[in-house]
Amino acid sequence: MFAVGAVGGLATEVGPWYRQLAKPSWHPPDWLFGPAWTLIYICIIVAVGRAWNVIDAADKSALMLLLAVNLGLNVLWSVLFFTLRRPAWALLEVAGLWISIAALLVFLYRIDPISGQLMLPYLVWVTFAAYLTLTIVRLNPAAHLR
């Protein structure tokens, strides 16, 4: 999990390109993103750990598949937005990321309601990030045409 966070962090260069983008007045300060993602990853680890201890082998396989898809999409968003500098592509991709979080939440909730609830901060944050991405795309129509 922390490896995924590290890869996503490496792909997230908050450099001159990002700083020059027009952003909404409600854009959080850059320092908030690290602690927010740390808390989200802790919630994911606890949620998966709780469920892992009570599910059978078939459900473990399903959980690993859902988690792998989700974490892959999580990293892909950072690569699309920051590394490739394609906010519009990241906006399209975030729909899949959101769906994968919702699927994990439902899957985990069915096994252990607390595990499902621990996924709520992730879902809320990505919902916020999707709206922020949409707003950045709208404010910077040429940013994705490079």
Cα 19–chain centre separation: 21
**pLDDT at residue number 46:** 97
Question: What are the pLDDT digits (tens) for 117-129?
Answer: 999 999 999 999 9
146 within domain boundaries: no
Question: What are the pLDDT digits (tens) for 8-31?
Answer: 455 566 678 889 999 999 999 989
**pLDDT at residue number 5:** 47
Specify the pTM: 0.88
**pLDDT at residue number 68:** 96
DSSP for 116-134, written as a single string: HHHTHHHHHHHHHHHHHHH
Domain that holds residue 92: 2-139
**pLDDT at residue number 85:** 92
**CATH code, domain with 83:** 1.20.1260.100
- Number of domains the chain contains: 1
47 within domain boundaries: yes
